[in-house]
Structure formats: structure tokens, C-alpha cells
């Protein structure tokens, strides 16, 4: 044995499968192992895997090149054989009568000069249903490829480029390794490490150091992030291989039947596909028409939206004008109510004026009759006037007094005239208000105009003034009225 092959691997005490990640090679190898098995762990190191195997009720015989590690592994193995398989064969270190259910190679085959020879020898120590479980690093990992593009192939203490590795494998060469040595691979799984992970098991590479298309191409490769292959394989001479072949033959027959059914379904599907393609062509034509109509509809919709926006603006303006009109209407209704009140008052005044007018007309008729009588009396009195002239001189003194009284009466008359002018001004204001309601009060306005004309005529008449003066004169002169 050579000291350069010895590695100081860590020991994990109280190791439990439940604590291991599914991406762990020990966990995956353990899942391929049954219970109550007799296992030979070739490359057992410090016995980490043996701990897990014991918990499944199995027994372990260990083999390792490192005597220090083998000493630790004895805690978990029935026995541990210290040997270098590059210089001795398994049949030399294992009793001829001793057979195993499982042979385990946990990251071991890549350390051997001739792993093909060791795998062939392993068949001799397996029972009729025995099989091999192995984990092997993947030299085609994406980090290795990119490092090679940078001209780097640097060995490390552990990992894919472990400095004690003598052989390097890809998935294809792993498969070839087992098939050339007389094994049928039942199952292959993988553990994964991302290409650009900061891990001790792969070279450290940086994505920005490479062209993006190159990185993308490597990432698309199936096993570019595979760290290890986990293999379960049976010797071709084992009964298990016969079972697998029978199962494979039955599965193949089932697959052939399924293939025939699939071909029939495929033919039907092709017919349906042709029909579907025809329908698709028709639908595409309809779709084009629909799209054209949709484009037209979109254009119309845009125009409608523009018109709607304009109408909304107009509606807002109309609503504002309506609000203003409502305010004005309220004001107009208030003014109308005031005008109606004024109209009622004016109508009452008109009725009163009409009644007064009738009375005035009656008095006028009476005064006209009385005037005729007065004229007759005046003719008779002319004669008496001549006589009165003689008396006139006597009444000069009285006349002067009367003139003074007349002056006082004139002053009173002027005051009455001023009051009359004020009344005229108020009447003009009433006429202005009356004109505002002219459209609603045409009939009343006509009656008012007639009444106003009569009143104005009476107010401008001197008849009453003359009558008052005549009576005053008769009183002053002492004339008697017959």
C-alpha cells in the first residue's frame, strides 16, 4: 500500500439518515439498500456509511487503504480489512465461503488503477441475488468544462479533482464501465451542484468571465450540474438480472401493444388534425374578417368616444346654464309673485278708482245741471250786479281782507300743488313697475290706462276750482243763491 493514497476523511458520529439532504450521496445509496442485508463497504473510510447501514438491521464488513480510518470504522463494522486493491484482489482478502448481498463503492472506483478488474472480482463475492451500489464523480460538470476553457485543471484536496483520483468518468463512461465488466444497470441517480456555486467539490468559476452564449450552451447540457452518479447494478449472471430481463420483456410486449394502440390513436389524431387544420384555416379567415371588423369598430369607437367627450362638455355647459336659468327662474318667480301682489293692489285701487269715477261722473252730471241753473241765475244776477257795483265800493275794504285771505289760500294751493307733484312722481314709478308686467297684464293695463286718462282729465279740470272760487266770491260779496 502507498501512503499517497491515504486521505484523512472526517468522522460523523451519531449520523442519522433523517438529517441528510436528498441531494446527499450517502442518502441516495442508502435508499438503494434493503434491510437485513450483508454488506461489504469497499472504501469504508471512517465508517460513516456503515453507521447508516447498521440502523437498517444490516451488517457491514469494511475495506480501506487507510489503517487510521479503518480503526475508526471498526466501531460500526463486524471487521475492517486494510488493503490496497491495486495490489491485491478481493478474493484474496475475503474468505471463499463468505458471500455478500451488496457491495458498496462510495467514491472509490475513480481511485483505482484498474476499476474494471475490481468490479469483475466483486461478482465472485456476491450471492446469486447480490448487486453493487456505487457513487462516482462526474468529470463533465460545467465548472470543469469552463475551467478547462481557461486552461485550468487544478487538483484539490477533495471533490471531482481530488488529487488521489486516477480515473475520470462521464455518464457514458460510467455506463460503459459496468457493462464491460458484466453488469446490468438497474438505476442511476445524481447529486447536483450548480455550475457557479462556491463549493469545495468543484472549481470556482465566474459567469461574467465567459460569453453568455457559451454559458447558456453548457447549462443546457443534461449533466452539466451533476456532481456524482449513484449506480445500482446487478451481475449478468445473477437471478435478479433474469428477473429484470423477464420484466423488461413483459414491459416491452406491453409497450408494443401500447405502441399499436398509440399508432391507431395517432392515425385518428392525424385525421382529426387534418379536420382541425381545415377548421383552423376557416377560423383564420373568419378571424381576419373579424379583425378587420374589429379595427373598424375600434375606429368608430374612438370617434364615438370623441363625440361622447364633446357631448359631455356640452352637457356640462348646459347643466351650468340650466343651473343659472334655474336661479334666474327662481328670481323671476319671486319678482312675479311681487308683481302679482302689486297687480292685486293695483286692481283693488282700480276698482276703487272706478267706483270713485262713477261717483265723480254722477257729481259731474249733477254739477252740469246745477251749472245750467247757475247760468240762468247769473243772467238774472247781472241785473243785480249793477246794483251790486254800487255796493262794491263798500266792499273794497272787505275785498282787501279777502285778498289777504286769498294770498293765504294761494300758499295753501302751492303746498297742495307740491303734494300733487309728489303724487305724480309716485304715479310715474308705479307706471314703470306696471310696464314690467305688461305681457301678463294687458287687459288690466288697458283698463288702468282708461282710468288714468279719466283721472288725469279730472285732475287737470278747473271746474272745481271755479266752483270753489264762485262760492267764495258770492260769500264775499254777500250774493244770495236762489
Range among 119-133, 250-264, 385-399 rated most confident: 119-133
Q: Judging by beta carbons within 10 Å of its beta carbon (0-12, 13-18, 19+), is residue 183 exposed, middle or buried? A: buried
The predicted-structure confidence for 54-74, as pLDDT tens digits, reads as follows: 999 999 999 999 999 999 999
- In this structure, is residue 142 part of a structural domain? yes
Q: How many Å apart are CA 189 and CA 23, to the nearest integer?
A: 10
Residue 242 has pLDDT above 70, yes or no: no
Give me the mean pLDDT over the 390-399 stretch: 71
At 163, which CATH number? 3.40.50.150
- In this structure, is residue 244 part of a structural domain? no
Task: Name the domain boundary from 237, 255, 284.
Answer: 237
Residue 2 has pLDDT above 50, yes or no: no
- Supply 360's cell numbers: 265723480
Residue 450 has pLDDT above 90, yes or no: no
Residue 401 has pLDDT above 50, yes or no: yes
Q: Which helix (H) or strand (E) holds 400?
A: helix 239-436
- In this structure, is residue 311 part of a structural domain? no
The predicted-structure confidence for 417-426, as pLDDT tens digits, reads as follows: 787 778 777 7
Tell me what percent of the residues of the chain surpass a pLDDT of 90. 45
Residue 481 has pLDDT above 60, yes or no: no
Task: Name the domain boundary from 197, 222, 237.
Answer: 237
> Partners of 230 in the beta sheet?
135, 189
- In this structure, is residue 93 part of a structural domain? yes
- Supply 431's cell numbers: 307706471
What residue has cell string 241785473?
383
Asked which of 114-123, 170-179, 193-202, 311-320 is least confident by mean pLDDT, the reply is: 311-320
- In this structure, is residue 120 part of a structural domain? yes
- In this structure, is residue 185 part of a structural domain? yes
Task: Name the domain boundary from 183, 207, 237.
Answer: 237
- Look at residues 92, 25, 37, 21 and name the one whose alpha carbon lies nearest to residue 63: 92
Report how many domains make up the chain: 2
Q: Are 231 and 367 found together in one domain? A: no
- Look at residues 13, 5, 4 and name the one whose alpha carbon lies nearest to residue 50: 13
pLDDT band at 363 (very low <50, low <70, confident <90, very high): confident
Residue 384 has pLDDT above 80, yes or no: no
- In this structure, is residue 18 part of a structural domain? yes
Structural domain boundaries, residue 472 = 362-477
- In this structure, is residue 243 part of a structural domain? no
| Predicted TM-score (pTM) of this structure | 0.53
Report the Cα 285 to chain-centroid distance in Å. 35
Inter-CA distances, 465 with 409, 461, 470, Å: 12, 8, 9
pLDDT band at 434 (very low <50, low <70, confident <90, very high): low
Q: Are 21 and 156 found together in one domain? A: yes
Give me the mean pLDDT over the 204-227 stretch: 96
20-26 long-range Cβ contacts below 8 angstroms, 24+ apart: 23/191, 23/192, 24/191, 25/106, 25/107, 25/135, 25/191, 25/228, 25/230, 26/52, 26/106
Give me the mean pLDDT over the 448-464 stretch: 66
Amino acid at each position: 500500500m502507498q501512503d499517497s493514497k491515504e486521505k484523512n476523511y472526517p468522522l460523523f458520529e451519531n449520523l442519522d439518515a433523517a438529517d441528510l439532504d436528498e441531494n446527499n450521496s450517502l442518502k441516495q445509496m442508502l435508499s438503494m439498500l434493503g434491510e437485513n442485508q450483508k454488506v461489504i463497504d469497499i472504501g469504508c473510510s471512517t465508517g460513516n456509511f456503515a453507521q447508516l447501514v447498521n440502523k437498517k438491521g444490516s451488517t457491514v464488513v469494511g475495506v480501506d487503504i487507510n489503517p487510521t480510518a479503518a480503526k475508526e470504522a471498526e466501531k460500526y463494522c463486524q471487521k475492517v480489512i486494510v488493503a490496497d486493491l491495486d495490489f491485491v484482489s478481493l478474493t484474496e482478502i475475503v474468505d471463499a465461503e463468505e458471500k455478500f448481498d451488496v457491495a458498496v463503492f462510495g467514491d472509490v472506483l475513480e481511485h483505482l488503477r484498474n476499476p474494471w478488474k475490481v468490479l469483475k472480482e466483486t461478482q465472485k463475492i456476491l450471492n446469486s441475488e447480490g448487486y453493487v451500489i456505487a457513487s462516482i464523480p462526474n468529470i463533465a460538470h460545467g465548472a470543469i468544462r469552463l475551467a478547462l476553457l481557461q486552461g485550468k485543471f487544478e487538483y484539490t484536496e477533495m471533490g471531482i479533482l481530488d488529487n488521489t483520483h486516477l480515473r475520470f468518468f462521464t455518464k457514458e463512461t460510467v455506463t460503459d464501465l459496468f457493462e464491460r465488466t458484466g453488469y446490468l444497470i438497474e438505476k442511476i441517480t445524481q447529486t447536483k451542484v450548480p455550475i457557479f456555486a462556491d463549493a469545495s467539490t468543484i472549481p470556482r468559476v465566474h459567469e461574467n468571465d465567459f460569453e453568455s452564449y457559451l454559458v447558456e450552451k453548457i447549462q443546457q447540457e443534461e449533466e452539466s450540474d451533476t456532481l456524482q452518479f449513484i449506480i445500482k447494478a446487478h451481475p449478468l449472471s445473477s437471478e435478479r438480472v433474469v428477473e429484470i430481463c423477464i420484466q423488461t420483456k413483459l414491459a416491452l410486449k406491453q409497450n408494443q401493444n401500447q405502441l399499436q394502440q398509440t399508432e391507431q390513436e395517432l392515425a385518428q389524431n392525424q385525421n382529426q388534425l387534418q379536420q382541425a387544420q381545415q377548421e383552423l384555416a376557416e377560423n383564420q379567415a373568419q378571424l381576419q374578417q373579424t379583425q378587420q371588423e374589429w379595427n373598424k369598430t375600434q375606429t368608430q369607437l374612438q370617434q364615438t368616444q370623441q363625440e361622447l367627450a364633446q357631448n359631455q362638455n356640452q352637457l356640462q355647459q348646459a347643466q351650468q346654464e340650466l343651473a343659472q336659468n334655474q336661479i334666474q327662474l327662481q328670481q323671476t318667480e319671486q319678482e312675479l309673485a311681487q308683481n302679482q301682489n302689486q297687480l292685486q293692489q293695483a286692481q283693488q285701487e282700480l276698482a276703487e278708482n272706478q267706483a270713485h269715477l262713477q261717483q265723480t261722473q254722477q257729481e259731474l252730471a249733477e254739477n252740469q245741471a246745477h251749472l245750467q241753473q247757475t247760468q240762468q241765475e247769473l243772467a238774472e244776477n247781472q241785473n243785480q250786479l249793477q246794483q251790486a257795483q254800487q255796493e262794491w265800493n263798500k266792499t273794497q275794504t272787505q275785498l282787501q281782507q279777502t285778498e289777504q285771505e286769498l294770498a293765504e289760500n294761494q300758499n295753501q294751493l302751492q303746498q297742495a300743488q307740491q303734494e300733487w307733484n309728489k303724487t305724480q312722481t309716485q304715479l310715474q314709478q308705479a307706471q314703470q313697475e306696471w310696464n314690467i308686467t305688461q305681457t301678463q297684464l294687458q287687459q288690466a293695463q288697458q283698463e288702468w290706462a282708461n282710468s288714468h286718462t279719466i283721472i288725469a282729465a279730472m285732475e287737470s279740470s278747473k271746474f272745481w276750482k271755479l266752483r270753489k272760487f264762485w262760492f267764495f266770491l258770492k260769500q264775499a260779496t254777500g250774493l244770495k243763491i236762489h
